[in-house]
Each structure stands twice: as structure tokens, then as C-alpha cells.
Structure 1
């Protein structure tokens, strides 16, 4: 039933079934005002006759009625093959409404939505207009006559396959956290010359029943792989200027009927190889129910596909009845949360609970989680909060014809880059002086990885600017020759063991000329909003290996940089001394402690305490006491310039922490600090208060436990 918009031609028809006459009249008045022709009934006895005679476009049904409850009414509508769209109303609570909605969908009814009583006129009007806007296989509303088109036949489908009428549209998939494009899902579309658009839930079962599903699958696979090969080609990448296109994935749906046909999957693998597409970029999707129909066949086939490199996704998860044991047995790499839960996440606690459970399940099984049906920013934000990996839906893009994909991509990337540049500017760090809080991290990176150069860069519109650098006598480079520009195209760490063997970087000026870079590793730096503003990078003039443990370590260091980016230049710092305050020192020392624990490194501290500070404040005034603290902080910073952390750990105490240091090293620092204090006091005027800090050291060998607990234990051992 294709209905006309209100005010154009025959108005759409709404039939209301509600045993409360006043409620039915209210719904009818709201609908009439919105341009609908509405009738209401209070008895189910005459309802079905009226549906047959009047052929309404939309039905509004109350669940709770004395003669026949709404669930029974919906079952009877399904039995009669009703094509009307359905709005369910009830005062029975959200769980009952959600369950009734699922029941209607299970019966194959075209449900628009559910609305709880008492409802607002605005809410009802939104549902009515949503019913008109929904895509569907509907016929024109003609006065006095409404007929359904004939259904597509097997002969129609065979002809469509012969003539190539079934085409593909591609819906983008992005990372929830960053918005970076990671792939597309290929969706089959059939536009029949006489019957119009025939939806997949009609022609896919038809193909399965007629034994045409493998032919259909192979035909659309060829289309999809040809498109992916062109999208990933060197020519396209040069034209668009984004190498991320060479790594995007493509998801394709597989019927359960095809799982036993090994020749089909051999053909798909052959098509990939012929086009130079690695199987790792292809995601084969199966619905939860189909994957569980024949667990043994599924296990054999899916295991073979994973061994060949294909990714496997369990689609519409949460709608079937699979056992957890069966799910764990099958080698999936992705779980997709069904859109019926995602689309109702903003107003259904039950849907949110399902999404939360599926995401947690995916994380516990080391699977990617994808949410489909994302239609608003609130839902995407909720998914990001849950740490769901990927999202697709109309908020990101509708399914696109192949010829529209590149324009969509370039337009979207331009918009994302402008938002990213605003985020970089918002940091207020560009062209600012060096800061110890960043320099300590680049020094630490050089020391831990043994590289000659480490830097923290921010990627501006036309340049790469270095906020901190070790071993690099530059403040910026042009953006177009910056390695970090390539790092930010994707969300993953970029490691290049030997730049001379890298297809894109081997000709870069910094590789063929000074500083003659042979090794590079860069990890994007994220703001809490998800924007990528720069990188933490390692560079060396010699080729190097870079393993998984190295990647984890660089990720940890980048996390420390991100913590600093989240702070302003004064947040977390003591106003008197300019060093880290107690809270920041403790938090960062805890992170350093965990890092040393994983690397098996010792830690050592040197601490100077002004035990007489309360008396100085009392006898000479607070200004004198503050000056002594500042003087002590300056001396500590001077003699522990390579410390990883220096801060005002307690009110009267300045502490420096050194990773990888032993007791002998901090004892040397303590001696130098003691001499510096004596020299400072000798140069003080006789009427000025002198300070005599208590200096002590401690070593923390590699081990478990919170930082403060281990530190107190170390002090106790020293007596």
C-alpha cells in the first residue's frame, strides 16, 4: 500500500481498535488533524470485516481488550496476510509493549512502532508520519479500489539473474569511537521492470526455495569484488588521497543453504585471488539462526573459511535461540547486534540491556561487535560508551549505489578533517614552548625502545608541528611529507620496520634524505571526544623489528600522552612549585608502576621533605615557607632533570621517580642534592630562614601491588 502524503490525493486511512471509546476518538481526532482519514472501533467482532472492506493503510491496536487481546488480533491479521502497517498501544508497561512488537515482527507484520498510554499528540503524529515515510512494497491509494501487486515468481527471479537485474548497494561501517570508515556491507537490490522494488526478504527465500541461492550469491559476489578492487586501486587512492581505502573490509551475506556447498566458497576464494583482494578483507555474514541449524556442517565449513583467511560474522545476534556452547564452538570473528534492539535503544531499557550484554559477550570472546540500525547520535554515543567497536545505519549513511560511494566518502572526510582541525586548535598547544610533562614522555620512549628519536606531533592544516622531540632538531615539517599523516588515516598503530621496503614511504624526503629514517612506529593520539589530533612516534636510522609487546608498550605511553592532552597546562600542577600536585603524581606514578611491572623494570625515588616548614610559616610568614618550597623544587628539578616524574607528593615533600633506576643511582642524586642545599644556604642572607630538608631514597623492585603500598613498604624496610 503506497499512501499519499497528507494533503495530496486520497488521504491515508487509519483504523483504530480500542475498547475505550474516548481513547479511540482522541486518536482519530489527532489523525484527522494530521491529514489522515480515521475510523475507530471498540469491538474486535467487526474489526476484521472492516479491515477487509475498507483496506486501511495503518492499524492502531490496543493490546488489552475484553473480547480478544491484541496479540490474538495480530496473529489473525498475519493469518489473513494483512499488508497494513501497525501501531501498537497499551498501558501495560514497556516490557509488554516491546514483547508485543517482537511478536508482531515474528508474525511478519509491518510494525511501525509501539506507544505507551497515556501518549502525547506529538508522539502519535510522529508514528503516523513515520508510517508514511517507511520504505515498502506498496500500491497507490485509489478511491474505492485497492489491490496488491502480484508476487514475484521463480521465473521472474531466473530472468533477473540472467539479465543482471539484481544489483548491489553498499552501506558504510565506521568505528564508534573515532568515526573512521572501516568497511561496507554489500546489500542486494532487485528492481523489477513491472513489479518495482522487490525486497530481499522476499527474493532471498524465493531463491533458497528454488535452488537458486548459490547462483545468486556467486553473481553478487563477483559484482562486490569487482567494485572493491576498483575502490582499492592505486588510481582511486591517488585520486582521493586516502590509503585507508586499500584496507577497508567488505561484508557479504551468506545463506544457510550454501554452507554445505564447498565449491561455492572455493569459487569465492578464487575470485578474491584473481582481483588481488586478501580474504582477510572479506566478512561473510550468517544469521544466528542459520548458523545453528546444522552445527556440525557449520563448524566444518566455517573453520575452513577462517583457515583461508575470511572473517566471519554472526548477524542479527540476539534474535535467535542459540546456546552459548554452540556459539563459542563456531569460529566467528564478529557479532552484529540486531537493529531491532539498536533502533529502540533510546526508549527501551530492555533493548539497552540486550545491546550491553552482546557487547560484553563479544569483548569476553575477543570478537568485534557491530551495531546495525544506528539512526541517531544519542544511540551512537551510547554504543561508544559501551565500547562497541563498529556501527552502521542511516545516521552514517543509507545504502549507497556504487557510483555514489566515492563522493560520499570524500565529502564526509572533508567534514571530519575540519572537525579534527578545530579540535587541534582547541588544545591551545600549537606554537607553545616545550613542557616538561611532554618531554619526560618522549625521553622515556627513547629509553624504553632504544631509538634515537621520539616525538609528539600535532597535525595542523598544512604542517606537522612537534610539541616535544628528542633527537630531532626540528619544530615542524610540511604536512604532505609527514609520516604521521598516514598514521592518522587509520585508527591503528602504524609500524614500518624498514622504510626502504614500504610501498608508500620509501620515496619520502625524510627517507631518501636527512634524517634518513629507516624505522618508524606511530600511534594516533585521541582526545576523549574521539578526534585524532596527532601521534606519538618512534624513529631510528636503522631497521628494527617491532613486535606485539612493543605495540602494547607504545600504546601505554600514548595513553599517558593522551592524559596530558586532556589537561590544560595548569591542571594537575601545584600552584606554588609548578610541579605535579599530589593527585596527579599519585595517578601517574601508578601508571608508571604498572608499566615497570610488565617490563620487569625496577623503580627508585628520591624525596626531600621540609619538616620545619610549619615552624617557618609561623615564625617568618607563609611567603617565606612558599619560597623555600619553590627553591627546593628548583633544586630537585635541576638534579633530577631526567626523572620520569617530579611532584609535590605531600604538603612538605618534593619527590622524584625514576623508572629503570636502582638504589645506587638515586643515592648519587641524593648526595648531589644535599650539596646543592648546603650551597644554597651558604648564599642566603644571615637574616633569611635557611632550610634543611630531610632527604631519603627508596628502591621499588619489580613486583605487584599499588604504588603507594609498595612505597610505604620500601620506607619501612629502610627504617
Structure 2
């Protein structure tokens, strides 16, 4: 019986599935049964060939990756046996391997229908099955004994749906990969017909495009989505959920290539934004890569105008189209979305990971946000975070939600994230602990660099803001509900309040109206390695202030140094013998200080004291005496270099102080003071005790390029 005999005899076509994942095989079989096919699925290649001979299937669906025989071997065996069945290849190995497998099948003389990547859609699989049955996608009405499936939606149905408002929206959340903070939603059109049921977008969008209804559909979507955005962003909603982060949500909407020439459509969307008081900067218009390339000149004109009005532009499904690099540089996009076929196969496909890596690096080099869609497991999200991908969306975070479910989802999710954050904060072991020099030196540095009266490191506990380090502030804690940092931690960005008395949210805050009379505030969240936000590094002043991009970058650098301390912990960062920074921590933080001085154009001075005879002291007097000498030297260095930004055990026998913004004269002054302190210390020792035999060096580093270690190597000068 040939693969067309079933059409002549009125029999349903037979599909035999070979896939070692039983659940996948069962899913394919279920889809095939519903489409009118007779289907069986097997997990073993041995029984597969027996069924090919005995059952004589008309269509074969073969997975490429299997433990006994891989798909290429199976196809070679089918060719050797002279199989006449039509062939569908499935796998999650990536499109390049799938395409190569398809070419291999054809070269073996097999009748291949097509290839389909996992995970696949029911629609895509049905299309391949219909093609295999030589029915060109038509319903299986001709097969006797099978119930006539519902008819396909037509243009009249779509026109009626638009007139009656049957097109509704669902919203899929987008989060930051690093922190999990919600940043926006993508609006997705949904159509449920009374008789035909749910009609997927990949059916009705092409229908709208083909019959000139796409602009009307886009405008209907925009009206609904913008009305929803007004509601979700309202003060009433913010008060209801206890957060204001929803007031800054971004909204993404899809735009068809057919609409790019219609300037009136985009004028209408801009008018809708203005009527609702929505800043266009909060709207992201998404175009597929292929659609953006169809008419490059029109695209350039239209997209440039949209960017001038403030809209953000996203290139969707990046990596699946053509001329990508050239067009991406030409067109004014603000975001790249990595196509979900790569994201969904990232855990199993090195090729997919390579594409994702390349897109993320490309986006970073062009100053664009990168968004990965199709994130379905934590391992994939962790990989995206490792690559520094900006945003993610997918079933791991949430399926598309009807508007009435969003606040409930948000409230539950934020409660879970807060408990996780509080656990991470508790694990630090810093709450209600004494002041530590490693944090105090950074808040002192912040006051000095920014010229503010107050700087502090706050940790946000469940009901309070507690200050781990503070300069210019008498308080040790405040209620969380009035803390500026409470709002800062709702988002992931630096929060700047130039004048609190002029700010509607802060003007009546008791910290503004009463002591400490805050007028200026700048706070940057502090992150742990797992992305948890545990507190803030803050600048406060009783006078209004401006705060520019350079200031923001500088504060971010300082916050990074605080985060390094949080990650290391006191025991890991400090030398057990001297209590100063240990060698590793000193070198890391000196490198960060070096970069900071380079950014600010500041010199850097160092004073170092080395115990030349320490090995001999250890040998003659014992290790305890040698350790005591190191502690004494460390104490003396701290005493004469109180203003040092870093003091640490630079080498085994050496203690070093680093001062940002200091010159050689200041370094020499400290060195002389240290020399005198050592002499005084030795004079006070009993005659039979070992004396401190120390050589003292000074160095200055101008704000030049190069690493700290390399530049310091030839800069030391011995104190005479």
C-alpha cells in the first residue's frame, strides 16, 4: 500500500512516532488523533522498525536524539529498507542541525515533508501532518467515520469580532534577569469565537494583514492596552498593592510590517497616549526582524519619527531574519528580543546558547536592552543572568494573564520575593551589629567625594530601615514606611530626589519636615550575588542639589565597593592577625579605588611599612612575637593614617595605607609620622624584646590607564 492508498480507500492516514521521551510522543499522537489521524508512538528503535513493517504507517515522525540509534541512523536504515512513508523530523537540537538532518534524509532518497523544532506548536505540527497527507492544510473532512472539525475563521468573522469588541488582551510580564523585578508587560491579542472557540494569533493576524484589517486591529489593541495601563498605573492601584513600581511599568505592543507606511495609525496611538496622560517613553512598539527589513526606507522614516516622539522600539525574533547586523545599526531600535526558539532550547543546545550570547553582546555593544522570551526554567534564567541579559519573559515568570488576574499575581509574587529577600538579608548577619571600618570608610569617602553632609548604608528589614554605617546622621534606624530607601528598593535603578519639598511623594515625609530635614536624596540599591536587594547606599543633604550622569556613575562605583564587602563578609575580607584587609581584599579594592580615581581625575597616594626582620624574629622569639609585631605595626599605621581609604596587609610582612586624592607630600607626612611612632614604640619596649625593624615606602599614582598592580610596581620611593 502506498502512502496515498488511504485516500482512495477512505482510511485515516497512519502516523508512527519514534521519540524516547514518552510524554512528547504521547503529545504528538494526541494532536494527530484530534486532527483525524491514526497514531502510535514508540520509544525504542527496535520495536519501531518492526512496526514499520507490520503496521505500514503512511507518515513517520522521528526524533533525532535517542539513546539506542540516533535519528540519522534510523533514516539510513529506513532508506536501506526502501521505506516509502513520508517523513517528519523533530528535535530540540537547534535549527542548523535540523536543517542538516533534513538534507541528509533527502540525500538518502527519503520522502521528507519537513522538520519541526521542539518545543513545537500544535498548529505547526498539524500543518506538517496535513502536508504529509497531501491535503495542503485542509480539514480532514474527507475521511469517513470522522467528525467534521469546525470550519476555519474567515474575514467576515474577524470583521464582526472587531465590531463587537471580541478581541481581548492578555498581558505577559517582563522582569529583570538579575533581580526578578517587574518592569513591564507585553499586550497579546486573544480571540474567542462563540462557535469556533479560541482562534490563535498566528491565524487571525495573517488574516487581518491579508484583508486590510491589521491597522484597525492594532488600534483596537492600543486602545484597550492603554486604558489598562492607566488603571494599573494609578495611585489607587499603587495604594492597593502597597507599591509604586506599577506606576512606572512599560507596555509592549506588537506592530505589523503592513502598518509601517501608515503614519496616521501612529499619530492615532500618540494621540491616545496624550489623552490618557501616558508618556510615550513607557510604550515599546515591537516589530519582527523580518518585517522591519521589508521596506528599509519606509521603516527608517517611520521608526525615526516614533523615536522622536519618545516611543521605544524593539526588534522581535532577532536572529531569525536576514541582513540583521546592517539593518539593526541603521534603524533606531532601543531593544533586541532574542527569539524564543533559541531561548527554549538553551539548556540542550550549544548552538542556541551561542546565538543568545552573540545577541546579548551585540545589544550591549550598541547600548540596547536585550530581552529573552520563552524562558521556561530557572536554569535558563540563570544562564541569561550570567550573560548580563537585561530582561526576560516566559512561562517560568508567568503565562499571559487576563487583566483581572494581574494584581493578584503581582501581590503573591512580590510577597514571595520579599520573604526571599529578608532571608538573604538575615543570612548576612549584619543587622544590629557594631560599626565596622570596612563600611565606615566608604560612607566617609562618599561624603568627601560628593560634598554632602550625610552618607549612609541602610539595610531594609521587615518593618524598619537600619543603618549599618552612617556619617552625619544621629539616627540608628527609622520605620520602613517613611524610609526613602523603601521606595528605592521597589525598583532597580538609582533614585534621585533633587528637592524633597518639591516632590509630591516626599514633601510631607517626617524625615523632610523634621530632623534630619532631608532636602536632597540619592539612593542606589545594594545587591547580593543572587540579585537580592538588601539595602541602599545613600547621599543626603539639607539643601537641594543637582545630580548628573557622572555623579550617578560615581555612586554606582561606590555601591559596587559596598557590595563587594557584603559578598566577602568580615571574616573573609580581613586578615586574622592584624584585623586589616587581607591581601586579596586589599588588592581587589585598591583596583576599584584606582578605577574610581581615574574616573574622577584624582591622584592616589600610598604609604607602606615592611617588617624586614620578621622571619628572624619568628625564628628567634617565636611566631607569637612575630604576630604581635604585625599587630603593632598595623595599629601604628591606622593611628597615623586615620583618613586612609584603605588599610591592609598588602604582603606577608607589609602593611599599606591608600589615600584617594592625596599627593606625595601628604604621603611623606604620614610616612614621617609612622617613622616617629615606630621609634616611640621601640623606646617603650623592654630591652630583651624584639624591636620593630621597618622600612617605609611611599608612592603616588596619577589617574592614568593601567591596572593598580602594574602601575604601582615601579612607583615606590624609600623613605630616607
Task: Determine if contact 1:492/1:523 at 8 Å carries over to the other structure.
Answer: yes
Deviates more, 1:604-613 or 1:490-499: 604-613
**CA offset at residue 312 of structure 1?**
0.4
1:258 maps onto 2:268 in alignment: no
Task: Determine if contact 1:170/1:402 at 8 Å carries over to the other structure.
Answer: yes
Change (3 A) 1:677 1:43: same
Residues 627-666 of structure 1: pairs in structure 2 closer than 5 A? 627-666=628-667
Aligned counterpart, 1:66:
79
1:455 maps onto 2:465 in alignment: no
Q: Which runs of 5+ in 1 are unaligned?
A: 1-11, 52-59, 75-85, 115-136
| Alignment partners' CA distance in 1, 2:94 and 2:189 | 38
Aligned counterpart, 2:393:
392
Q: Which runs of 5+ in 2 are unaligned?
A: 1-11, 42-47, 62-70, 106-111, 121-137
The SS at the match of 1:506 is: coil
**CA offset at residue 618 of structure 1?**
2.2
| Alignment partners' CA distance in 1, 2:269 and 2:519 | 38
1:706 maps onto 2:707 in alignment: yes
1:42 maps onto 2:52 in alignment: yes
Deviations 1:34-92 (A, max 9, x none): x99627753799644999xxxxxxxx996553289999945xxxxxxxxxxx77379x9
The SS at the match of 1:370 is: strand
| Alignment partners' CA distance in 1, 2:623 and 2:29 | 75
The SS at the match of 2:431 is: coil
Aligned counterpart, 1:674:
675
Task: Determine if contact 1:524/1:534 at 8 Å carries over to the other structure.
Answer: yes
**CA offset at residue 322 of structure 1?**
2.5
Deviations 1:72-113 (A, max 9, x none): 945xxxxxxxxxxx77379x9995347669999x98987655
Change (3 A) 1:602 1:113: closer
Deviations 1:307-333 (A, max 9, x none): 000000011111112242122100011
| Alignment partners' CA distance in 2, 1:562 and 1:550 | 18
Deviations 1:233-277 (A, max 9, x none): 111111112111111100000011110110100000000011110
Aligned counterpart, 2:585:
584
Task: Determine if contact 2:459/2:465 at 8 Å carries over to the other structure.
Answer: yes
Change (3 A) 1:208 1:67: farther
Change (3 A) 1:589 1:371: same
Change (3 A) 1:331 1:89: closer
With normalisation by structure 2, the TM-score equals 0.85
Change (3 A) 1:297 1:23: closer
Task: Determine if contact 2:695/2:718 at 8 Å carries over to the other structure.
Answer: no
Aligned counterpart, 2:248:
247
Change (3 A) 1:349 1:356: same
1:177 maps onto 2:187 in alignment: no
Residues 252-651 of structure 1: pairs in structure 2 closer than 5 A? 252-651=253-652
Aligned counterpart, 2:109:
none
Change (3 A) 1:649 1:276: same
| Alignment partners' CA distance in 2, 1:108 and 1:223 | 39
Aligned counterpart, 2:16:
16
Task: Determine if contact 2:15/2:59 at 8 Å carries over to the other structure.
Answer: no
Change (3 A) 1:111 1:437: closer
With normalisation by structure 1, the TM-score equals 0.85
Aligned counterpart, 2:212:
211
Change (3 A) 1:172 1:596: same
| Alignment partners' CA distance in 2, 1:23 and 1:689 | 75
Task: Determine if contact 2:465/2:477 at 8 Å carries over to the other structure.
Answer: yes
Task: Determine if contact 1:63/1:88 at 8 Å carries over to the other structure.
Answer: no
Aligned counterpart, 2:237:
236
Residues 155-166 of structure 1: pairs in structure 2 closer than 5 A? 155-166=156-167
Paired positions, count: 657
Aligned counterpart, 2:128:
none
Task: Determine if contact 2:439/2:469 at 8 Å carries over to the other structure.
Answer: yes
**CA offset at residue 363 of structure 1?**
1.1
**CA offset at residue 617 of structure 1?**
1.9
The SS at the match of 1:517 is: coil
Change (3 A) 1:446 1:300: same
| Alignment partners' CA distance in 2, 1:342 and 1:72 | 33
